Amino acid sequence: MKLLDEELVILDAEVKTAEDCIRLGGTSFYEKGYVKDGYTQAVIDREKVYPTGLPGKGVAIAIPHTNNTYVNKPAVGVIIPREPVKFCAMGTKDVWLDCEVIIPLVIKDSDMQINMLKQMMKIIQDGELLKKIRDSKDKSEILYCLKTLES
């Protein structure tokens, strides 16, 4: 299933906060028809209760997402911020990570979510791949690095 789209890859993003990242990704998803109105606020609200920061191998990432209520079709976005952005670590309320790669997920069903999170765990454990994603200036190269999410 096609989840990756170069138009959903944002490089050198001028964002300062986790909410800025979520709004940027949400706007992109909405403008391209992947999500319904209300998606962005739902992700912001969920992030406050269930944070999505993950200490990847050498590069911290965040995978903001919400339930499927606002999803038209599944997708994966990528935001590479100009400067690291603080996201709270998954499973905590007070551990903050300086995230350099943000991968917003738009997930349609729970089976897809489980599979995608398994693939995401492999990506998180691959420090070289994370650095390549972080440092790339080529959207197609970033998507190539994430192609396992479509399997």
pTM of the predicted protein model? 0.95
Cα 73–151–136 angle (5° rounding)? 85
Could you tell me the domains of the chain?
4-142 (3.40.930.10)
What are the distances in angstroms from CA 75 to CA 34, 83, 92?
7, 24, 26
Q: How far apart are CA 16 and CA 12, in angstroms?
A: 12
pLDDT tens across 33-91, in order? 999 999 999 999 999 999 999 999 999 999 999 989 999 999 999 999 999 999 999 99
151 pLDDT higher than 90: no
